[in-house]
Structure 1
Amino acid sequence: MTFRVLFLIVVLVPVWACRSKSAPIMSSASSSHKPPAHEPSPPVAPVRPVLDTYFGVGVTDRYRWMENDPSPEYGTWLAEQNQHARRALDRIVGRSKVAGDIRAITRDVDTIVDIQDTETSTVLSRKPAGAISAKLYVRDAHERDGRGREAGERLVFDPPGGATLDGFTASPDGRFVIVLTSSRGTEERTAHVLRTEGAQPLPDRVERLRDPSIAWLPGARSFVYTRYPEAGKPDRLARYKNAEVCVHAIGTDAAADKVVFGGVALGGAPDDYPVVALTEGSPTALGIVYHGVLREISLYVKPLSELESPSKWQKLAGPADAITEVAARENELYLLSFHGADRGRVLRLREGAVSLASATTLVPEGEDVLEQIRPARDGIFTLALRRGVHRLAHVSATGERHEAPLPAEASVESFRSRGAETTAVLRTESYVTSPVWMRWEGRDSAPVPVSFNPRPMAFAGVRVERTVATSSDGTAIPLTLLVPQGAARDGKSYVWLLGYGAGGYSLSPKFYPYRDAWLKRGGVWAIAHIRGGGELGAAWHRAGMKGNKERSIDDFLACAEKLVKDGYTTPQRMVANGRSAGAIVAGGAMTRRPDLFRAVVLTAAGANMLRLDTSPVGAENAREFGSTSTQEGFEALLKMDTVQRVRDGQPYPALLLQTGANDPKLPSWHSGKLAARVQAASTSGRPVLLSVAANQGHHDDTAEQVAQSYADAFSFAFSQLGHPDFPSR
């Protein structure tokens, strides 16, 4: 369900401004600090103020005209901004060397994106080194015992030119696999069905999909999926509404697929997203409704045998019941509940139960923050966080718990299980070591790496340090540091400070090869685990939502001050970074404390949050950030709005904004407005650059795009922080 979160991390790069006592700027006047004569000036954006009134408060939008996209004027201005940024970035000595280093660490390395075991085979998607898309392969089941990679692996799907493989779902018996494809850089997907024997494509084609949550019905002759009912709507605000779950029978026309759950008939909000989940061996169909970015679901049940009948679904839980996940096993349901348990607990409900009142507790609330549950033949698997590090456990039907011995400081970024088996397939990684796929039988065994893992990578001589910063209200904020060998606390390290803090998303240990280019040049990589994230449970998330977002910014600033206090760096050698919702925090830090950072890098920035309601995903994100339809929501969004918080005559840090020309979630005018505003307001003389990717939404598809994007970001930051290897020509 990644699309439900406006700004997920997801993410290669994975901050709000405290509302001042003065009213938002009403004047259209601006003061511009001209760059030195030898540097060309960026194109000036016309100021055409539009006054909006929210609950008696007037707010002026200087650059509303940028929202008239596509328009020739905005397109021309955006292209000229990109040309200006390109000239400035290409003048930085050392940039090409950074790009080469990033290429080198990923050269000749392939990536296993996902693995799914079936009764007869293992199906996996593998992205070869430098490839734009993953390809799909099948391996014989007997090779799970580690008898070698060279035999049995065969290619069954290679996306045609211009398309990417976005996911797959194999049938439990391994005979068929459904592949999801999209045109490069878009989020609208098409499902195709293949027969794995002979890699034979079938004529089935299902469209109008985003994240369809496909599940096979018994017998593998049909499957359920989620789609949008209307195609071709030009208005993106209306295109993704009233999603519905349908059943498709192999060999039939998808236009005749029957709706079995969700849609208008369910009576929910148009932005709700329904799915039907099925588990091997369970007689129950689960109807799950996701409410935008809200983690809490609504849960319905129905006998699987009646899935296509007109019988009603029985509702077991709504958002107020604080259920976030459900797993079915035989005649039981297991529910991950945060009702009265901020760190979560697992409830068990017998088949036929009509309410949660009869549920019993299988896993009580403990020290760990429970994140996911998955079914197994002999119990369930649980995934939890302990101070930001994952813990995977098997819990039997009687409550007996066995924890998997995982590597220290590791995270489990993906894991699957089957209700008919006892094995979990998982991917582990850390901040300094690349992902490894493993299988775990549960109980007292140890996870075993699969025999076909890619060549491992690691950051040589880099240690992980954990410390704590104290926020303005006394709250302890976890702070993780990746410190290269030889770095001393002499205030001379170049520090990249990353923050996110939204959606309950945790910045758990993940390996990003491009970070090596920063670390090997004496840079320290710092990760602020601020409120709004999920590192410390549901209360930690709530503490950074909506009107509490200022706490996220307070936390981020506290982490920056901690880095200075402990001697790692100085403000002159520190860069603030955020992507999407993380840009709310980093941008807020920039406007509140411009003296604390020398440079700021924002990617796909949520910069003009007051206009969130006008975006295609505005309604579904209102639960996390607020909506201008209410006074409370308006006040929260105004405080988060970086564009509105910029003040004339302030010496702002150097700013690099990276955006996509056709981003469907965060339109480029978010970054465009902020670039224009800071260019007009700042007196520091430091550059404000707007870099525009031509693709959809600034998604870095290839190794080359990754290298170029981070070469820009790192060389820009190093040049502003005074690194001797990065002067500007």
Structure 2
Amino acid sequence: GGTEESVLYVMDVATGEVIDGPIDRCRYSPVAWIPGGERFYYVRSLPPELLPESERGFHRRVFLHKVGADSAKDANVFGAGMTITNYYGVEVSRDGRWLQVSAAEGTEPRNDLWVADLTTTSVDRPAFQHVQVDVDAQTSLTFGRDGRVFVSTDLEAPRGRLAVTEPGQWGSSQWVDLVAEDPEAVLESVAILDGPDLDEDLLLVTTTAHGVAVMTLRRATDGAVVTEVELPGAGTVAGPIEQPSGGPVVWFAYTDHTQVPTIYSFDARTRQVELYATPPGSVEVPDVHSQLVTYDSADGTTVRLFIVSPTAKPDRPRPTVLYGYGGFGIPMQPGFSAAILSWVAAGGVWAVACLRGGGDEGEQWHRDGMLDKKQNVFDDFHAAARYLSTDGWTTPQQLGIYGGSNGGLLVGAALTQEPELFNAVVCVAPLLDMIRYTTSELGPTWTVEYGDPEDPEQFGWLHAYSPYHRVVDGTDYPATMFAVSDNDTRTDPMHGRKMCAAVQSATSGSRPILLRSEGNVGHGARKLDAAVEETADTLAFLAHWTGMEG
């Protein structure tokens, strides 16, 4: 039904047999196995009957479960008495010695971090030690087989850095940098390559330079670069993933604007990337051009924009879709999209703006687009629209904008602030009433990103741009489709419904203001046929109102 209320099962991967579960109330739960396959840590919400109705989406705890045992009797090992909107992460080191638990209040871009030595304490009552508490940074640990602890952090390094320390020396003053912050790239991940087949332990470090993945092989002793790893193209990497027992080989997924997600391996013995697995079927990719350009926002900040187009340079103004998100530190990286390729194959242009509020340029880039600085995100988006028109890619009459969730807020703000820049708007699963967004669903977990309307100063930030409160009677609004789902448990469908009614009442023009409402579907993933129908409807709407022929 789309509610995203997850249940957890345990499957024997050799036979496919389900051997445990379901364990309910496991939304957003990681799983951390203790070696041996008999027990694991996981995150679960408290039973709803014990909580007020307004708090039933919160109150998570870390539990320990023994396979086959009654989950109602699982030991609660962490989280009691802490902030009710906390999200928890949990990991166990490869050798089973170290338990790591992180906590973040809602979507706050920082975390507290604890570790416990499972060789000196009970696994169901671990004795935790602080790594960082009440520190304004995001930090995680990786435990090497050589006993050292690798620290990934953005403490005093908004683009991220990799440090090393020893067990027990948890304080940041005891960390020693291995990979210093790069002023042009964001640290994404680190994998350890080790074992008897290598002369020395190595690190495979993945960064993104303005949204494009870069891999380097480095010495684990001092972080010195051994070689840059050649990737299949200018795209996005997920992973790498190590073998639990370690070794010289890791695996990663790669995608870009024209390549479907594909699995590759990297072997530190040969220094080679090799194709490992491809998805079933085949895709005929049209001839398209992908490029990354820059433009200036209203305050002079340089912003980047991916453009996927039929030609390398503008040959004439074309029907164009501008997409953006700009929130929660989420970067806009190249990725395969059948919808984008279909649009470009039909003669259009698709642009993706890397706005402030995202993570494209590190944590400071995120913070420059949150809370009292949220207007920067909208200014970046408006400037992207102007760039596409003035550079010859399109015209305001041929430009449509598209965004979902936080991106729905983005295009809702664009609709109300700069309606003359676009001819069409598709606003999916949006937040639009920023004064009441905390009253339903997961809204209370987002006050760290947007602000709390109960706070007088923060109320002012929110009211200044809240799209629902910026609708003006007598405005000739662009053709707009608000798309909502009845079972959306993240962004309440009331946002799209009442915004649609407000804009329908206010508009002075003849362009339509529509509501696309879908039942038995939630915020994100849905059945394939439902996803195809939504894509077809939104592309058809955009095509009509941007003048796409055929």
**TM-score category, normalised to shorter length:** over 0.9
Q: Map 1:699-718 to 2 at 5 A.
A: 699-718=524-543
Q: 2:416 aligns with which of 591, 599, 619?
A: 591
Residues of 2 paired with 1:602 and 1:232: CA distance?
A: 36
Q: Note if contact 1:260-1:307 (Cα within 8 Å) is conserved in structure 2.
A: no
Q: Note if contact 2:314-2:391 (Cα within 8 Å) is conserved in structure 1.
A: no
CA-CA distance at 1:642 after TM superposition: 0.7
Larger Rg: 1
1:70 matched to which residue of 2? none
Structure 2 SS opposite 1:281: coil
Residues of 2 paired with 1:486 and 1:320: CA distance?
A: 46
Change (3 A) 1:383 1:458: farther
Q: Does 1:355 align with 2:176?
A: no
Q: Note if contact 2:490-2:523 (Cα within 8 Å) is conserved in structure 1.
A: no
1:104 matched to which residue of 2? none
Q: 1:673 aligns with which of 490, 494, 498?
A: 498
CA-CA distance at 1:405 after TM superposition: 1.1
Change (3 A) 1:662 1:204: closer
Q: 1:632 aligns with which of 457, 466, 476?
A: 457
2:250 matched to which residue of 1? 424
Q: Note if contact 2:77-2:126 (Cα within 8 Å) is conserved in structure 1.
A: no
Q: Note if contact 1:246-1:260 (Cα within 8 Å) is conserved in structure 2.
A: yes
Change (3 A) 1:229 1:380: farther
Residues of 1 paired with 2:249 and 2:110: CA distance?
A: 28
Question: Aligned AA for 2:177?
Answer: T
1:219 matched to which residue of 2? 36
2:157 matched to which residue of 1? 341
Q: 1:261 aligns with which of 78, 93, 97?
A: 78
Q: Note if contact 2:357-2:369 (Cα within 8 Å) is conserved in structure 1.
A: yes
Q: Does 1:304 align with 2:118?
A: yes
Q: Does 1:445 align with 2:271?
A: yes
2:207 matched to which residue of 1? 384
Q: Which deviates further from its counterpart, 387-396 or 566-575? A: 387-396
CA-CA distance at 1:458 after TM superposition: 5.3
Question: Aligned AA for 1:216?
Answer: W
Q: Does 1:289 align with 2:103?
A: yes
Residues of 1 paired with 2:36 and 2:434: CA distance?
A: 48
Structure 2 SS opposite 1:680: helix
Question: Aligned AA for 2:294?
Answer: V
Question: Normalising by the residue count of structure 2, what TM-score does the alignment of the two structures yield?
Answer: 0.93
Q: 2:300 aligns with which of 449, 460, 474?
A: 474
Q: Map 1:588-667 to 2 at 5 A.
A: 588-667=413-492
Change (3 A) 1:562 1:212: same
CA-CA distance at 1:251 after TM superposition: 2.1
Question: Aligned AA for 2:290?
Answer: V
Structure 2 SS opposite 1:554: helix
Change (3 A) 1:338 1:488: closer
Q: Does 1:464 align with 2:284?
A: no
CA-CA distance at 1:572 after TM superposition: 0.3
Question: Aligned AA for 1:686?
Answer: R
Structure 1 SS opposite 2:271: coil
1:410 matched to which residue of 2? 235
CA-CA distance at 1:312 after TM superposition: 3.1
- Higher relative contact order, chain-length normalized (CA < 8 Å, sep 6+): 1
1:201 matched to which residue of 2? 18
Change (3 A) 1:451 1:721: closer
Residues of 2 paired with 1:414 and 1:659: CA distance?
A: 32
CA-CA distance at 1:677 after TM superposition: 0.5
Partner deviation per Cα, 1:560-594 (whole Å, 9 max, x = no partner):
10111111111000001111111222111111111
CA-CA distance at 1:308 after TM superposition: 2.6
Structure 2 SS opposite 1:563: helix
Question: Aligned AA for 2:216?
Answer: A
Q: Note if contact 1:651-1:682 (Cα within 8 Å) is conserved in structure 2.
A: yes
Residues of 1 paired with 2:521 and 2:54: CA distance?
A: 17
Partner deviation per Cα, 1:649-704 (whole Å, 9 max, x = no partner):
11110100111012111111000111000000010111000001112325452332
Q: Note if contact 1:496-1:575 (Cα within 8 Å) is conserved in structure 2.
A: yes
Residues of 1 paired with 2:187 and 2:8: CA distance?
A: 32
CA-CA distance at 1:191 after TM superposition: 1.6
Structure 2 SS opposite 1:562: helix
Residues of 2 paired with 1:233 and 1:497: CA distance?
A: 46
Residues of 1 paired with 2:102 and 2:12: CA distance?
A: 29
Identical-pair percentage: 28
Residues of 2 paired with 1:432 and 1:235: CA distance?
A: 48
Question: Normalising by the residue count of structure 1, what TM-score does the alignment of the two structures yield?
Answer: 0.71
2:262 matched to which residue of 1? 436
Change (3 A) 1:371 1:452: closer
Residues of 2 paired with 1:653 and 1:523: CA distance?
A: 19
Residues of 2 paired with 1:723 and 1:205: CA distance?
A: 49
Change (3 A) 1:237 1:403: farther
Structure 2 SS opposite 1:690: strand
Structure 1 SS opposite 2:135: helix
Residues of 1 paired with 2:419 and 2:86: CA distance?
A: 40
Q: Does 1:188 align with 2:5?
A: yes
2:224 matched to which residue of 1? 400
Partner deviation per Cα, 1:377-408 (whole Å, 9 max, x = no partner):
43544321101101233433212334321122
Q: Note if contact 2:204-2:217 (Cα within 8 Å) is conserved in structure 1.
A: yes
Question: Aligned AA for 1:555?
Answer: D
Residues of 2 paired with 1:376 and 1:622: CA distance?
A: 40
Residues of 2 paired with 1:295 and 1:486: CA distance?
A: 38
Residues of 2 paired with 1:299 and 1:384: CA distance?
A: 23
Question: Aligned AA for 1:694?
Answer: G
Change (3 A) 1:409 1:354: closer
Residues of 2 paired with 1:392 and 1:693: CA distance?
A: 42
Q: Note if contact 1:563-1:569 (Cα within 8 Å) is conserved in structure 2.
A: yes
